[in-house]
Amino acid sequence: MDTIFPACNTLEDDRFESIEEFKDCIGRGDEIEFEWKGVHFGMSGCQPKPEHRIMAYLWNQPDTEQYFDTPDDALEYIVAGDRLRDIISQIDVLSRAF
């Protein structure tokens, strides 16, 4: 059974502190729900298809999935006009599921 860890008291408390923290999280297959510039996103690691390890998508919007082979590739995902690598420590992490 998946364990859901709710966001801390503030969005700032649950932000990624570094690129390495994000890479570790998504590399373990965790699911992340986050917001940037008012747009809601989701990302999950270790998808069932071996060629698609990581999936990113706009929350509740069908056919918006993009797939990445590695956490480094996922950091190139464009999030509301910005590259995830450039903003990873600033995004509002709404939840993380392990």
Is 85 a member of any domain?
yes
* Domain total of the chain: 1
Residue 20: exposed, middle, or buried by beta-carbon count in 10 A (0-12, 13-18, 19+)? exposed
Does 9 fall in a domain? no
| Domain presence at residue 91 | yes
Residue 19 backbone phi and psi in degrees, to 5: -60, -40
**Inside any domain, residue 57:** yes
pLDDT at 13 over 90: no
Mean pLDDT calculated for residue range 72-91 = 96
Alpha carbon distance 8, 45 (integer Å): 22
Residue 12 lies in a domain: no
Residue 96: predicted pLDDT: 83
For residue 50 the two structure tokens come to 């071996």
pLDDT in tens, 33-47: 999 999 999 999 875
42 assigned to some structural domain: yes
Confirm whether 39 is domain-assigned: yes
Residue ranges making up the domain that contains 38: 28-97
Structure tokens at 26: 């998504």
Mean predicted lDDT score pLDDT of the chain: 85
pLDDT number for residue 9: 47
Q: What is the pLDDT of residues 50-80, one digit of tens each?
A: 665 899 999 999 999 999 989 999 999 999 9
